[in-house]
Structures are given as structure tokens and as C-alpha cells.
Amino acid sequence: MKFYLPTKIYSENNCVQDHGSELAALGSHALIVTGKNSSKTNGALDDVITALKQHLTAYTIFDEVEENPSVETVMAAKELGVSRNADFVIGIGGGSALDAAKAAALMIKNSDSSWDLMYMLQPESALPVAAVPTTCGTGSEVTGVAVLTRHDLKTKVSMKHKVFPAIALIDGKYLMTAPRKIIVNTAVDALAHLIESGANNIRDTYCDMSIFAGLREWAECRPYIDGNEALDVNAAQKLMNASTLAGISIAQTGTTIPHALSYMLTYEAGIPHGAAVGAFQSRYLKYTDLKRQAAILGALGFRNTEELGEYIAELAPVYVPRELLERSAKAVLSNKAKIAQCPYPIDESVMEDIISL
């Protein structure tokens, strides 16, 4: 068994301010990587700037990260960081901003390299990264993974290099201004991470610590995810914790078939990532060993995979052409690495059922 998590985690109210000295200690000039609006609206950007100013640390803001960030966006962030002599990177936002920050940290450290370094296997180091998540889905604040849009391939592809944040500052208050649609889609993404880690050939007893803690935490948040109860700061922190636990889980196991199936749906049909991965979860889990399946469903409070599937479909419905699903399935069946992680034999007939939305 093995378990690797080099990220220091603070999950608490006002953690950016309270641990600003550790944030500033990562370097002398920060490149802040974020999107155009949300980090300004929810106060996370102001909190980070205030902390840096208090510790006399210079910063430059790159706020051009789009949803499902592209390699081109990462390279634009890299150019800005190099021009300002940035020596560490702070990602603020959802998974898109955090993934872009990790990739930018790699490229700034290796500033003479072209973009394809991100997809080369030789080991390279990156600048230190701090992560300030503002959504409850990707868990990118505790993984080494950065998933980027490759327009040349018309899909999303994970960067080959692992870049774990040095520090993650997780504050539920940043979730309070998020639209309900964002909360739902990112929460479904976190659920997908927990299920795919739980039904995975790589998982072990150490992984189960974070998987089942995350499943229980997620289940306790269902009234807020469903919209039956108003979100408060305590519930928001629990949602963020569930997401982080899910991130810790996939940092150990990686994702499996549903994530691989989702990328074409997002790129070609514009389906939000959380909805796209959620669409395949119940049928993916359906073929898992019955004891394991029962443990996962029990932790979530569902009686069977059909009930789980109906729940996800109501939360985050997905409508895509059958032809797109079939192309995605064909591509995944040829992906030996993803197939190897699946805990049961998978062939065309099983895949046919998994994609039957």
C-alpha cells in the first residue's frame, strides 16, 4: 500500500488571512492565476492580495482563465509570469484556475521549453503552488493533476507532470456567492471522484480512509445540494471538505471510465464537467463487486444504483447525440490505462450499457 500527499491543508474560516505568512513564504513575487469574475465576487482574490501585502510580497494577476482552460491560456500565463519574474504561483477559483496555475508553474520554471513539455514524460520541477479553491468539486487543491483542453486533439488531456500544491487554503465562505448550478455541478464532480476511487483497481485500505470519509461528508450535504435547505457557512465548509477528501482519493487512484467518457461531451457538446462525469456513475458502479457496491451506496444513503442514477440525472441532466457517446466509448475502450483501472472486465457490451443515458 502507498499514500502520498505532500500538500499542507488548512480547511477553516479565514484561513487565507490566518496563514498568510505561510502563503507569502513560498516566494517573493506571486503570479495569481484566476478567472475573470468569481474570485473577485466571492472575496477570495481580495483576501489573497491583502495577505500578500501584509507580508510585503509582490504579485501579478493573470485573470484570463476560462472554463476548461486551454494549453494556450497556460502559455499566456507563463509569458506574464516570466516577464514579472514570478517565483511562485497562486491559483484561486474552481478546478480550471487551479489546474491552469499548476501548469503555469511548470512552464514558468522551464521557461525555455515549448508547450509540449506538459505532455512529455521526462521529470521536470515546477515553481511552488498555493491553491485557494472556491468551488466544491475538483479537489485540485490536493492533487498533482492538471487537466487542460487540447484544441489540436479536440478533447481534454491530463498533463503528464504531477504538480501538487505546497499549501491548500480551503474556506467555505467563498462558496456562499456561487450560483446553485455551480454548486450542483461541482458537487456531482466530487461525488464522481469518490465513486471512481472507490470502484478502482488501484484503491487500497489507505485510500478507503478518504473515500468513505468523503462519501459520508457528501451524504450529509445532500439537503443543500438538493436545494431543500439554504446553504450556510458551516454547510459550505462541509461541501468543501467533501470535495477535498474526494481530491485526496483521486490523487491516490486516478479517475476511471466515467471521466474518460466525459471529455468529448464537454469539448464537443459543452456539457459542464460535473454533469458529464455524473451521467455515467450509476452504470459504472452497477458492474462493481456487490459488496463494494453496497458499501459505497450505503455510505451515500442510496438503496441501489438505479436510485443513484435517477438522483444524479435529476440534479444534472445530460442530453447528447448517441453518435457522440459511441465515439467517446470507442476512444475509451482503446485507452489501456483507463481500462486497467476498472475493477471488472469491460468490453463493448458493458460499455454499451454504461453509455446508455
> Residue 3 domain-assigned?
no
- Note whether 132 and 90 are within 8 A (CB): yes
Is the per-residue pLDDT at 223 higher than 90? yes
- How does residue 345 score in pLDDT terms, banded at 50, 70 and 90? very high
Tell me the whole-structure pTM to 2 decimals. Answer: 0.96
Average pLDDT of the chain is 96
Where is the domain boundary, 174, 200, 217? 174
Mean per-residue pLDDT for 178-195?
97
Kindly state whether residues 160 and 14 are assigned to the same domain: yes
Kindly state whether residues 202 and 338 are assigned to the same domain: yes
- pLDDT computed for residue 1 by the predictor: 87
Kindly state whether residues 220 and 315 are assigned to the same domain: yes
Kindly state whether residues 144 and 255 are assigned to the same domain: no
Is the per-residue pLDDT at 124 higher than 90? no
Kindly state whether residues 200 and 343 are assigned to the same domain: yes
Mean per-residue pLDDT for 212-227?
96
Is the per-residue pLDDT at 121 higher than 90? no
Kindly state whether residues 33 and 154 are assigned to the same domain: yes
Kindly state whether residues 26 and 143 are assigned to the same domain: yes
- CATH number of the domain to which 262 belongs: 1.20.1090.10
Angle of CA points 28, 33, 37, to nearest 5°: 130
- pLDDT computed for residue 310 by the predictor: 98
> Residue 128 domain-assigned?
yes
Kindly state whether residues 133 and 269 are assigned to the same domain: no
What percent of the chain is modeled with pLDDT above 70?
100
Kindly state whether residues 123 and 256 are assigned to the same domain: no
Amino acid at 21: S
- CATH number of the domain to which 169 belongs: 3.40.50.1970
Is the per-residue pLDDT at 275 higher than 90? yes
Is the per-residue pLDDT at 264 higher than 90? yes
What percent of the chain is modeled with pLDDT above 90?
97
Mean per-residue pLDDT for 63-79?
97
Where is the domain boundary, 126, 145, 174? 174
Mean per-residue pLDDT for 102-123?
94
- Note whether 187 and 148 are within 8 A (CB): no
Tell me how far CA of residue 101 lies from CA of 61, 79, 279, 345, in angstroms: 11, 13, 28, 37
> Residue 313 domain-assigned?
yes
Rg of the chain over CA atoms, in angstroms? 19
Where is the domain boundary, 148, 174, 200? 174
User: 270: domain range?
Assistant: 180-354
> Residue 158 domain-assigned?
yes
- How does residue 188 score in pLDDT terms, banded at 50, 70 and 90? very high
Kindly state whether residues 145 and 48 are assigned to the same domain: yes
Kindly state whether residues 16 and 136 are assigned to the same domain: yes
Mean per-residue pLDDT for 281-305?
97
**Bridge-based pairing state of the strands 58-62 and 29-33:** parallel
> Residue 116 domain-assigned?
yes
Is the per-residue pLDDT at 347 higher than 90? yes
Kindly state whether residues 113 and 138 are assigned to the same domain: yes
Is the per-residue pLDDT at 123 higher than 90? no
Q: How many domains does the chain have?
A: 2
Is the per-residue pLDDT at 122 higher than 90? no
> Residue 1 domain-assigned?
no
> For 22-62, what is each residue's pLDDT tens digit?
999 999 999 999 999 999 999 999 999 999 999 999 999 99
- Note whether 170 and 141 are within 8 A (CB): yes
